[in-house]
Structure 1
């Protein structure tokens, strides 16, 4: 082959490669769509997401103040006679951020007997920074003679997954759902309230009727989590944690010792960081036979069984209501369930996400069609 022919063919090959790269780049750019078709979304789902999304990337302090402008102890709330926090911003953005940071250091392994009835599980707590593992609950029923006939199903919960799985939009939507539920649990709003009825989430840190009194409630007989005589396990914190068995369980997960909060349940309403951690624990931890709220808010994470489908249980916000308070609010129209969705709708709008997991406006506005667990 002559030199001129080799040169001409070489130039042609270079030109073809350049054109190919140009068109490939143009096609790639045209196919770059953000989740929910939201041009403000800076990330893509999947491997492109960082392993840990700081909460500051999901919500700013200013947005947080917009969501909870009349929260307990803030200047707006201090003039209210029912303000329980004095001048302390109990549910501050800083406390929420610190709660996420601290609980992210905890992982648990739940060993559950795969039976149709409830068998208390064995729970191993792992301190991630040190790698220390500790069995914090090993009830005798777990290894009972009959119970050993059932295989063990292992569930691992890493609390750093809170609002940290799925796409960037999925994470913001989960945060909106979490906020909507804790807002309803602690709301002090009314129809003609300043700022609107749904600006008063996180107004209460203790259940009404118990704060400032010596009333004792929710202290029930329980073999594994016995209440201390005279101690009240009424609703406290963002999720209004109630009953001695819940205080005992969350204490095992957070402290590795059930007696920390069984002995001193009032600590939940004395420490804003701890209060938020109890709410995150409740959100992330499945309670047999329910999935966790976290699972049903992330697309494709939870798969309904035939029974779930028959009973109207689908992934999405309405299912979180069924998990949290379905026995009261689900299975028919209920004002509180509707209020939860109104909070969710408002918060999703402020955070710039859709209410439906598929990117649409969720038509399932409450859990009236869901049969309670």
Structure 2
């Protein structure tokens, strides 16, 4: 009986009503990311979700949970289980400036991966900042200093950016294209449609494993296809 009671917090997400987002409980969040660094606060995550209309707020409670599971599964891979505040490979930090007639790079700034989804490139920082109403082009490191901003950039990408796919991850899920379509929107050219590429297959499996774990915790069925 005591053992069952000890597990109870994992089964109690924050209450959601129709039209409001599903939010995992703090205990669930901690269980999904047991080694996360202090920067990725639960409070920052919750605030960012509440500032993102449309995310994980479908009419069906199951669909709300499924989108949250897919998002957190992808985030777990992208951020090394919320342990990567900034891109690990410092040798690549200066490689993300597309300086052309449309957009330059701010003096002294670098646009390497930061945050839960590892936001990269000057044009992505500019677009995310414009959407959020803050200047991330001039101050890209704010994504690695402000937890809520970091989470909001990840949700901005999830909701609005198709990458090399036909639709952003959010729209692809709502359109019934499965978890595979979210991977395609995030990193399609490097990981999808490569059956003979061992590294691409490894990364795809890692995303799927994280997604399965979150889906099991939230008590919802998987959205197939899983692999892209």
The TM-score with structure 1 as length reference comes to 0.53
Residue 275 of structure 1 pairs with residue 224 of structure 2? no
Structure 2 counterpart of 1:297: 173
In structure 2, C-alpha distance between the alignment counterparts of 1:323 and 1:285, rounded to whole Å = 10
Deviation at 1:296, TM superposition (A): 1.6
- Cα distance in 2, alignment partners of residues 327 and 278 from structure 1: 21
Which of structures 1 and 2 has the larger relative contact order (alpha carbons within 8 angstroms, sep 6+)? 2
Q: 1:248 aligns with which of 126, 132, 141?
A: 126
- 2: distance between equivalents of 1:60 and 1:163? 14
- Superposed structure 1 runs of 4+ greater than 6 Å apart: none
Higher relative helix content? 2
The 8 Å contact of residues 345 and 355 in structure 1, kept in 2 or not, is answered as: yes
Q: Secondary structure at the match of 2:62?
A: helix
User: Is the 8 Å Cα contact of residues 219 and 231 (structure 1) preserved in structure 2?
Assistant: no
Structure 2 gaps of 5+ residues are: 1-10, 12-16, 196-200
The residue aligned with 2:94 is 216
RMSD across aligned positions (CA): 2.0
Distance in 1, matches of 2:204 and 2:126, equals 28
Match of 2:46 in 1: 97
- Distance in structure 1 (CA, Å) of the matches to 2:84 and 2:67: 22
Aligned counterparts of 1:250 and 1:215: Cα–Cα separation in 2: 19
The 2-side partners of 1:171 and 1:239 are apart by: 20
Q: How does 1:150-189 map to 2 (within 5 A)?
A: 159-187=52-80
Structure 1's unaligned 5+ residue stretches are 1-39, 41-48, 73-88, 104-158, 188-200, 303-313, 357-361, 368-373
Give the whole-Å Cα distance in 2 for the aligned partners of 1:214 and 1:327: 19
Residue of 174, 178, 181 corresponding to 1:316? 178
CA distance in 2, matches of 1:329, 1:264: 30
Q: Deviations over 1:294-331 (max 9, x none)?
A: 11222xxx3xxxxxxxxxxx701001111110100000
> By percentage of residues, which structure has more strand?
1
- In structure 2, distance between residues paired with 1:52 and 1:223: 42
Q: How many residues align?
A: 207
Structure of higher CA gyration radius: 1
Whole-angstrom distance in 1 between the partners of 2:59 and 2:191: 28
1:239 to 108, 117, 120: 117
SS in 2 for 1:263: coil
CA deviation profile, 1:234-290 (whole Å, cap 9, x unmatched): 0000000000000000011001x6xx1111101100111100000000000044762
Shift of 1:216: 2.3
Cα deviation per residue 1:314-358 (whole Å; 9 max; x = unaligned)? 7010011111101000002321011100110111101111112xx
1:215–1:321 Cα change, 3 Å: closer
